[in-house]
Amino acid sequence: MSIKTKITLIIFSSTVVLATLVILISSTFLIISYNEIETEAVQKDFARAKSATVHSLEQLQTSLLDWSHWDDTYFFVQDKNQAYIDSNLNDSSLINIGINCIIFLNSDNDVVYSKHIDGDGIVETNNINLTAEILTYDQLTKLSSTNEFVSGIIKTQEGVSIISSAQILDSLEEKTPSGTLIFSQLIGEHELEEIRDITQLSFELHLYDDPNLSPELVTVKQVLAQGQNTFINKDSETIAIFGLIHDLNKNPVGIIKITEPRDVYRNGIKTITIFTSTSLIIIFLLSVIINYVSKKLLVSRFLKLTQQVENISSTKDINLRIDEGQPDEIGRFAATFNSLLEGLSVSRANERKLKTKEVATNNNLKERLKEIERFNKIMIDRELKVIELKEKIKELEKNDENQK
């Protein structure tokens, strides 16, 4: 496998891995994060809705304090004077206070007077059934101190109400309490609308024991009955959070539901889509650029280098040189290779010079050997001639001696 193919495969594999990671991160971690943000937001809204209920209780307590710590009320539970009723408990009095039920009890917890406005706006005086139902919550009459309020939520035949009770004192709070005053406010559609206006939330309240609960609320009721504080249900368009409200006896009496559009989630999906698409495009472009640059700066130079080396190898011409190009690793390799070729060229030149010298030396040696051979022949001939002369001299000397 060529380097070009390997680089292409590596870049392609890296691109696939990075794209897969981006998709996984987008489809898991980011969506989970947006879900968590959405859940936290709806839980805060649920807490805000509950705070609105608490605010209603505080307003109820404020009105109750004005009435319960008042000389006129203090003496009314003792003498039941008609003037107090005519001046303060006319038909519009409960509407002005913002309550739908008021109960006066004396120090023996006997009902002195009660007044009630039902859901249809009908004013009833001394509604015995409703009064008795309210007084089943004995916490309302068991106040341990003069400054204590008992406030909370109750369930009556009319529905869910907020309620508050306090001891009746004189204006200076110097005398012994003369009884107990109870204010109650039904959480009807008007009150729910006020909560919606205050919180800007889609606020609903359903009776816990309503036999006509929707299947969704039946499921929610079963989940919340197991001790879970809230339950969140989501679909493609909305997110709803449910929670229980409990009465003074800690029994569930209502189910609160808040529904919101899934704007956070939808915006998150849009953001994730843009992020994923942009990231994939950037990864693809980077892979193309890296592939092009690697081929341009590396592969093409390696191919050119390989061709030049192969040309030198095939021609056996070590006087050729390869282009060094830029002074990077490839350029340094080319320079080193050229230096090697230069060394080989010098070595061959020196070798040729040595051979030339060797041939010349050999020729000189041959010539000298020939001269030595000729000289030896001459010397040998001379020696032979000397020997012959000596022998002839000896013969002449012998002949002379013989003649004598």
Tell me if residue 237 falls in helix, strand or coil.
Answer: coil
Helix (H) or strand (E) holding 258: strand 252-261
Give dist(CA 249, CA 76) in Å, integer. 30
Mean pLDDT calculated for residue range 76-85:
92
Give the residue numbers spanning the domain of 398. 317-404
What digits encode the pLDDT tens for the residues 271-288?
A: 878 878 888 888 888 888
Q: What pLDDT is recorded for position 315?
A: 80
Q: What pLDDT is recorded for position 1?
A: 62
Q: What pLDDT is recorded for position 120?
A: 59
Q: Which of 261, 296, 329 is the last residue of a domain?
A: 261
Q: Which two tokens mark 376?
A: 């030896």
Give dist(CA 308, CA 300) in Å, integer. 12
254 found inside a domain:
yes
Q: What pLDDT is recorded for position 119?
A: 60
221 found inside a domain:
yes
237 found inside a domain:
yes
352 found inside a domain:
yes
Give dist(CA 207, CA 186) in Å, integer. 13
Considering only 68-82, 101-115, 380-394, which range has the smallest mean pLDDT? 380-394
* Residue 37: pLDDT over 60: yes
121 found inside a domain:
no
Return the half-sphere exposure (C-beta side, CA atoms, 13 A cut-off) of residue 140.
28
350 found inside a domain:
yes
Q: Which of 241, 261, 281 is the last residue of a domain?
A: 261
Average pLDDT across the chain, whole number: 83
Residue 309 contacts residue 337 (beta carbons within 8 Å)? yes
Q: What pLDDT is recorded for position 2?
A: 65
What digits encode the pLDDT tens for the residues 46-66?
A: 888 888 888 888 888 889 999
Domain count, the chain: 2
Share of the chain above pLDDT 90, in %: 17
Mean pLDDT calculated for residue range 181-195:
87
Q: Which of 261, 281, 309 is the last residue of a domain?
A: 261
40 found inside a domain:
no
What digits encode the pLDDT tens for the residues 307-354?
A: 777 787 788 777 777 776 777 766 777 778 778 878 878 888 888 888
> Is the pTM above the cut of 0.85?
no
342 found inside a domain:
yes
Mean pLDDT calculated for residue range 32-46:
86
Among candidate residues 195, 197, 202, 215, the one with its CA nearest the CA of residue 262:
202
Give the end-to-end CA distance of the chain in Å, rounded to a whole number.
115
